Amino acid sequence: MSKVNLKSLNKAGLESLFKREGLPPFRAGQMLHWIYERGATSIGEITEFSKPLREKLSQAAYISNLGLKDRKVSEDGTEKYLFELEDGNCIESVLIPDEKRLTLCISSQVGCYAACRFCLTGEMGFIRNLEAYEIVDQVISVKRLIAPKEITNIVFMGMGEPLNNFDNVVEALWRLTELAGFSKRRITLSTSGVVPKLPELPQKAPAVNLAVSLNAATDEVRSRIMPINKKYPLKMLLDALRQYPLPPRSRITFEYVLLADVNDSDEDAKRLVKLLRGIPSKINLIPFNEYEGSEFKAPQEGRVLAFQKILTDAGMTALVRKSKGRDILAACGQLRAGYEDK
């Protein structure tokens, strides 16, 4: 009989397992604390349990861990982690320092369906969804690696489209907020716009922040650089977002990757103002992060600032996001998880 991976069980599943083993409910609570808050890597580490109890549980169960294959540190302090999963597939996570914040960017899939033309991850294609525990394990693993420093924010902006792995992502969000102690206000989920899942998200998941990868103000351009737009065009996406229930004083973040001579003109900026009118929003402008072999180029700084000025003059909140970790391929759109040779 194979052993049960305790991280593969949700809270109710873990409680049921402990009940079958003849253990009182509080023991399951202790185990959850050790896994999600203290980052235990094995049952043997749980000193609240007697040695006979640890040995008994070890015969039936184990605690899985991501394998750290590589850790790169950028000249700006950004760190990129290459993790190996139990099946041999790999994913990447990125830790981004910014003043008093330490933001961890995590992956939700191995590869990605979306195949956005400006994103290196898309060149991998889609391999598989991550399980909920594999998503959360990125947080647990990095927290252990950087101790005593603490992760302050989590963003679902790594490899994959979170809403194409809906059930596992929702379960991961509940574990992060209920078991690992992260505030929902410090977690952001980014999507390329899987419209049918947008109404479900606030019904089934904690009320985390929502970001939308927009990147164009016309269907023609967006469909060219983001194939998902052919299935869920701008009007359908924005209609869904206008109905999205936001907590008080909350806004939807729109991410806009600026590609030279593709989506960065004054006319594009003016169209964007009209497009987002009526949606509580802020816009993150991200000059394209170039990589070898890319068909796109980053716009000049003056073009970026001119684009931003049109938005701010129209009363919109528009920030130019400084990309970090470019020297280690850890910036936005550069994650590929060491699959270059596969």
Catalytic residues: 92, 332
217 bridge partner residues = none
Q: Is the dihedral of CA 44, 36, 335, 297 positive or negative?
A: negative
With beta carbons less than 8 A apart as the criterion, state whether 36 and 143 touch: no
Q: Is the dihedral of CA 198, 202, 204, 210 positive or negative?
A: positive
What is the identity of the amino acid at 73?
A: V
With beta carbons less than 8 A apart as the criterion, state whether 133 and 174 touch: no
Nearest to 331 by CA among 147, 76, 144, 145: 76
Q: What is the DSSP letter of 277?
A: T
Nearest to 108 by CA among 129, 92, 126: 129
CA–chain centroid gap for 149, Å, is 20
Q: What is the DSSP letter of 122?
A: G
Dihedral pair phi/psi, residue 337, rounded to 5°: 60, 35
* Six token digits for residue 274: 């009209």
Dihedral pair phi/psi, residue 232, rounded to 5°: -130, 80
